[in-house]
A and B are shown apart, each in its own frame.
Chain A
């Protein structure tokens, strides 16, 4: 039997790797990948808590499916924005997209 803490540690590690990716990437697509890692880590935690703590209620499972749907929407809109920026500014490096900077 796998202890619950193993899943939680793995979820925390995945989350922190995603945070590092979001903070350190220059490429907008790389940042989006970090966000996907974070959302996956959240899902692992949700499912692990559901399975070990409240397997008789389906709340954790339902929320994980919702997170998945929102992640899909976020990826679609995010990548559309990146492609639109690439078309007008010819770059996806976030430091070069400084239109609002004085």
Chain B
């Protein structure tokens, strides 16, 4: 077993463990911090997939912005962070069965298919190519996404504003 494989197994175990704790923890604040750990694990996976740019974006956007936003939301609605409150609803057992069955089907299909065993050589400069794609082939979707982001942020301010 090579070093990247061992790294993947360790990081994957930490990521999945943290993700399970996110959805099962009784304290929402613990969930939020474990969510940041999950995001960091996914960022390491991006590095293993030779996309350091996306790993940096993951740390900036998910850990730096979304996790902090979630912690703020929990702080602003403090009553729900009480540790003695039941955090799962009455259909949690059914949800668990559905999730496990879904994973079983997905894992079975994944293992059935014949995937190429090895990576091909990275023919393009991923970061430079991404920059060129955003102003070339994908210029229109890129602009649309930027407008969506702007509208969402303005909308968020209007929704959350005190009247």
Contact of B76 among A56, A74, A86 (CB under 8 A): A86
Contact with B along A50-85 (1 / 0, CB 8 A): 011101101001101110111111111101111110
Contact of A33 among B31, B61, B113, B138 (CB under 8 A): B31
**Contact partners of B61 in chain A: CB under 8 A:** 68, 71-72
Flag if B73 contacts A61 (CB, 8 Å): no
> In the complex, what distance in Å separates the CA atom of A66 from the CA atom of B145?
7
Classify chain B: how many residues form its interface, as a range. 35 or more
Contact with A along B132-145 (1 / 0, CB 8 A): 01100010010001
Q: Is B10 in contact with chain A by the CB < 8 A criterion?
A: no
Identify whether the interface residues of A are mostly helix, strand, loop, or mixed.
helix
Flag if B70 contacts A79 (CB, 8 Å): yes
Considering only residues 53-80 of chain B, those with a C-beta below 8 Å from chain A are 54, 57-58, 61-62, 65-66, 69-70, 72-74, 76-77, 79-80
**Contact partners of A19 in chain B: CB under 8 A:** 95, 98-99, 102
Contact of B80 among A29, A37, A48 (CB under 8 A): A29
> In the complex, what distance in Å separates the CA atom of A62 from the CA atom of B134?
8
Q: A1-B119, A9-B107 are in contact. Are A29 and B74 (CB under 8 A)?
A: yes
**Contact partners of A51 in chain B: CB under 8 A:** 49-51, 119, 122
Contact of A30 among B87, B96, B99, B113 (CB under 8 A): B87
Flag if B89 contacts A26 (CB, 8 Å): yes
Flag if B149 contacts A72 (CB, 8 Å): yes
Q: A47-B51, A53-B116 are in contact. Are A29 and B23 (CB under 8 A)?
A: no
> In the complex, what distance in Å separates the CA atom of A21 from the CA atom of B4?
30
Contact of A73 among B113, B117, B130, B152 (CB under 8 A): B152
Closest A residue to B110 by beta carbon equals: A8
Flag if B70 contacts A84 (CB, 8 Å): no
Further pairs besides A13-B16, A72-B65: 12, Cβ < 8 Å: A1-B4, A13-B107, A21-B23, A24-B96, A56-B123, A68-B57, A68-B62, A72-B149, A73-B148, A74-B152, A79-B160, A82-B73
